[in-house]
Chains A and B, each alone.
Chain A
Amino acid sequence: MTTQLTADAARLVGYGLRPRLVPARDDTYRGLIVRASTDDEFAAAVQAVAAGFDLVVMEISERAGIVVASTDESVFAIRAGDYWRRAGGDGKASDRVLHALAHLGAATMAFPRPADLANETYLGRITVDGVEAFVREAAGRLAEAAVRNDDADTAAGEPGLEASWRVYSRRAQTGSTGDGRRLPSSTTGIVGRALTFLSEQGLLTRTGDERHGTYRTTPRYRTQVREAGVLMFDELLSLGITAISDGSATIEVAWTPEALTEL
């Protein structure tokens, strides 16, 4: 392996650390991407350089560029603590859950069907208000189920045992502060922060200000969500609580002709 080959491979990995650059707008980048898909020796060198940085190459394509993910011990890993600190939360577990639900809700709203996550040309469009309402609705449905099961309230004095949906439902949706700003600790504020962060990371592109911020997904985001989702699914499985789906929609919608005429 020559020094020049290693330098080029490292340069490509370096592009992966600058997620806002796309191959379509950078000739050097595009050249390296093409080379990685045609030159096996170069592709192996890219993998090796990435592995040396404790990074995993998830995808190399002209559409998304090179998508790298950090392993937990990598210096490039996003430490959850950094995010919470920047998000200004007071570090309580329930606050971290709210912020993380905003991230997961954004991904779910961006890729509502399993097929969307598998389709590499799919572009999701999300808004801050939309994601907020989506998670609130999902939490609301769990609340309804809890009422049906006579399980409406949690035991007092055990915040760790409280279900996540309760934390979300309870938090105010929006609110005005005395100086006319929006309440950052409201769920709309939390979702807004999550989407801003994702767009800073080059995973979403801001397209407008309607509904507190409109965004579309980038090909990179699809890859990241899919990989992170699979790992999270495994963790949920190990906790013994998740549904196995055959990839079709969650609720089957089947209409009889009579039902249609009634509406």
Chain B
Amino acid sequence: MLQPATDLGFAQRVKALACTAPLHDLDNRKNQVQTADFSVYQMSELALNAIDLVTLAMDFDAGAPPELIVTGVAGFAARQAPLRAGGEHLRAARWVLESLLNVGSADRGFRAVYGMTAGDGSYQRFEFDFKLLEEVVGPDGSIFLRATNEAVNVLVGALELDIESAQIAADLRLETLIRRGRLSDAQSAAQSARYRTIQYGEKLRQRLEATERDVRTVDWLHEMPKFIAEALEHIAARYRAENAIMTNITEVRDTADTPATKLQAAKLVDVVRDCLRRHEQLQAALQGAGRRFRAQQDRQTFAPGSSVATLDLHAQLLVPALGLPVRDAEPVLSGYVGRSAGVHVPDAVRLLDLFTALITPPAERELLGEPVEEPDLDEAPEEPPFPAECYELLDGLLDLDPEAPRRLSGLLDEARRLHPELPHLVVVRVVALAAQEINPALRHNLPGVYVAVDDGTPLMDAEYGGADLIVARARVEKEEVMA
């Protein structure tokens, strides 16, 4: 008797099938849309195009802006139905995108139920939850789209394969295709190689972000060095392969006899160039990964902490709670929220307040509210901190003979005789002079520059302490500029 398939491979195939269901569903539902006639569009193709666009726009840090994807998909829609209006193409694109996100479901995802025959012959049903596109927060707070692994796998057609082995297969295929001159196939193979690179980048990005939040959540002892080594190896291999391909196609492009072949080769050159760019980006990120980890480790692990240890919230509460079934986790977690969130003071209503509130007639309100008065703002000039005459006196005081520098103490004595507030201004100005540089004076063609020098003599003064600076005015003599 023939045994039904019971292995994991079977489950993977069933799940792979399930991932395509939302796309087929689009074509089934398009006729039920009440507000527009979408029957002319090939919705599943538009959906694949959308996933394509999102995946290609996914960069190391960011995803695809939704509006860009809508415009892109609307472009494909326009090609499918050139007679329809542009607004309808946009509506169709938006409908496809919302369906791929499954807007309207609480989780914004899809669920498929599948069954497997267990070892003892019993049939068991499981739930498989997946997403095709997801909305994530970008660095600037805006929403981006990213394609999930399931989407990339469905798209590439290599269902749930190990990243590395799929890559090797893709490379081999690509080289063979180019050798045989099948350029359109070569182009798709090059594109699928690019998806793999994107996946590596995505995984690295997630790991690094997790490290930044908490070093301990990522295994930097075994897993990360291995992953980084693998990814670098991938890049090195891809680099060699792509450079070889590049030479090959450039040859094809330059020697091609038909314009179509020429065009195809040129497109392929673009794809491979993009691959090379992405690899450089990923390589830079990989090389920086160790540095970022060490910085985070310094910040987190070696930060001084108290020696009295209490609970490890992450290992002892959060992870176990996440692992519990909902039924058991709910009471424990609810208890935590109730106790950790402080106290709740119930509102007590006084009868008098209630009565007053009830008998007070509602306040009449103008529909537009009070007229808004434009505040009349005066430009208030900033008051100088010292009286104006002080500045004039200061200029006179500091108009020094370049040949005769003076001590600060002498300047202060003279200032005291001239004006009660002048000494303070002198101190402020002289201290600023001590930090003056000669280059700006040269640039502005000033005749001289003030210098304040500390020769070690302490300042003997009733109000101010510090060094008795020597204040001098140095003449600026321009040197001939050397050529």
Binding site for B on A (CB under 8 A): 16-19, 55, 68-70, 72, 74-80, 82-83, 93-94, 96-97, 99-101, 103-105, 107-109, 111-119, 122, 129-130, 133-135, 137-142, 150, 152-157, 159-176, 183, 185-186, 188, 197-198, 201-203, 210-212, 220, 224-233, 235-236, 239, 241-255, 259-260, 262-263
Task: Check if B137 sits within 8 Å of A113, measured CB to CB.
Answer: no
Cα A224 to Cα B341 with chains together (Å): 7
Q: Is B405 an interface residue (CB 8 A)?
A: no
Task: Check if A112 sits within 8 Å of B141, measured CB to CB.
Answer: no
Nearest A-chain residue to B325, judged by Cβ? A161
Q: Distance (Å) between the CB of A182 and the closest chain B CB?
A: 8
CB contact under 8 A between A93 and B330, given known A155-B126, A236-B321: yes
Nearest B-chain residue to A80, judged by Cβ? B334
Checking A76, A130, A140, A224 against B339 with a beta-carbon cut-off of 8 angstroms, the contacting residue is A224
Q: Is B106 an interface residue (CB 8 A)?
A: yes
Q: Is B237 an interface residue (CB 8 A)?
A: no
Task: Check if A118 sits within 8 Å of B306, measured CB to CB.
Answer: yes
CB contact under 8 A between A170 and B300, given known A138-B314, A203-B341, A241-B324: no
Cα A168 to Cα B305 with chains together (Å): 31
Q: A78-B343, A155-B127, A253-B221 are in contact. List 6 more A-B contacts (CB 8 A).
A: A80-B337, A83-B341, A115-B307, A137-B213, A253-B216, A263-B287
Checking B126, B323, B335, B344 against A76 with a beta-carbon cut-off of 8 angstroms, the contacting residue is B344
Q: Which residues of A contact B126 (CB under 8 A)?
A: 153-156
Task: Check if A259 sits within 8 Å of B225, measured CB to CB.
Answer: yes
Q: What is the size category of the interface that chain B forms with chain A?
A: 35 or more
Stretch at the interface among B107-115, B360-368, B387-395, B420-428: B107-115
Task: Check if B137 sits within 8 Å of A188, measured CB to CB.
Answer: yes
Contact with A along B1-44 (1 / 0, CB 8 A): 00000001000000000000000000000000000000000000
Task: Check if A231 sits within 8 Å of B339, measured CB to CB.
Answer: yes
Task: Check if A79 sits within 8 Å of B338, measured CB to CB.
Answer: yes
Task: Check if A162 sits within 8 Å of B323, measured CB to CB.
Answer: no
Count of chain A to chain B residue pairs whose CB atoms are closer than 8 Å in the complex: 323
Q: Which residues of B contact A140 (CB under 8 A)?
A: 206
Cα A112 to Cα B103 with chains together (Å): 35
CB contact under 8 A between A159 and B332, given known A114-B309, A171-B106: no
Task: Check if A233 sits within 8 Å of B311, measured CB to CB.
Answer: yes
Q: Which residues of A contact B109 (CB under 8 A)?
A: 170, 172
Q: Which residues of B contact A185 (CB under 8 A)?
A: 106
Task: Check if B340 sits within 8 Å of A224, measured CB to CB.
Answer: yes
Nearest A-chain residue to B109, judged by Cβ? A170
Q: Which residues of A contact B127 (CB under 8 A)?
A: 153-156, 162
Q: Distance (Å) between the CB of A156 and the closest chain B CB?
A: 4
Checking B8, B134, B221, B330 against A97 with a beta-carbon cut-off of 8 angstroms, the contacting residue is B330
Q: Which residues of A contact B219 (CB under 8 A)?
A: 251
Cα A220 to Cα B108 with chains together (Å): 37
Q: Distance (Å) between the CB of B62 and the closest chain A CB?
A: 14
Checking A77, A97, A227 against B326 with a beta-carbon cut-off of 8 angstroms, the contacting residue is A97
Task: Check if B332 sits within 8 Å of A77, measured CB to CB.
Answer: no
Q: Distance (Å) between the CB of A128 and the closest chain B CB?
A: 9
Q: Which residues of A contact B83 (CB under 8 A)?
A: none
* Interface pairs (24), CB distance under 8 Å: A74-B343, A76-B345, A78-B337, A78-B338, A79-B344, A82-B344, A99-B337, A101-B318, A104-B321, A108-B318, A112-B214, A114-B309, A133-B213, A137-B213, A163-B323, A163-B326, A164-B324, A170-B107, A198-B341, A224-B342, A230-B311, A245-B312, A249-B301, A255-B220
Task: Check if A172 sits within 8 Å of B329, measured CB to CB.
Answer: no
Q: Distance (Å) between the CB of A155 and the closest chain B CB?
A: 6
Q: Distance (Å) between the CB of B240 and the closest chain A CB?
A: 21
Q: Distance (Å) between the CB of B271 and the closest chain A CB?
A: 30
Task: Check if A117 sits within 8 Å of B310, measured CB to CB.
Answer: yes
Contact with A along B220-259 (1 / 0, CB 8 A): 1100010011000000000000000000000000000000
Task: Check if A107 sits within 8 Å of B313, measured CB to CB.
Answer: yes
Q: Which residues of B contact A170 (CB under 8 A)?
A: 107, 109, 129
Q: Is B280 an interface residue (CB 8 A)?
A: no
Q: Is B375 an interface residue (CB 8 A)?
A: no
Q: Which residues of A contact B113 (CB under 8 A)?
A: 156
Checking A100, A109, A172, A227 against B337 with a beta-carbon cut-off of 8 angstroms, the contacting residue is A100
Task: Check if B334 sits within 8 Å of A212, measured CB to CB.
Answer: no
Interface residues of B in 287-324 (CB under 8 A from A): 287, 289-291, 293-294, 297, 300-301, 305-324
Task: Check if A263 sits within 8 Å of B343, measured CB to CB.
Answer: no
Nearest A-chain residue to B340, judged by Cβ? A228
Cα A93 to Cα B319 with chains together (Å): 19
Q: Which residues of B contact A201 (CB under 8 A)?
A: 341-342
Q: Distance (Å) between the CB of A206 and the closest chain B CB?
A: 16
Q: Which residues of A contact B103 (CB under 8 A)?
A: 175
Q: Which residues of B contact A116 (CB under 8 A)?
A: 305
Cα A17 to Cα B344 with chains together (Å): 8
Cα A198 to Cα B341 with chains together (Å): 6
Task: Check if B225 sits within 8 Å of A108, measured CB to CB.
Answer: no
Nearest B-chain residue to A130, judged by Cβ? B213
Task: Check if B341 sits within 8 Å of A253, measured CB to CB.
Answer: no
Q: Distance (Å) between the CB of B321 and the closest chain A CB?
A: 6
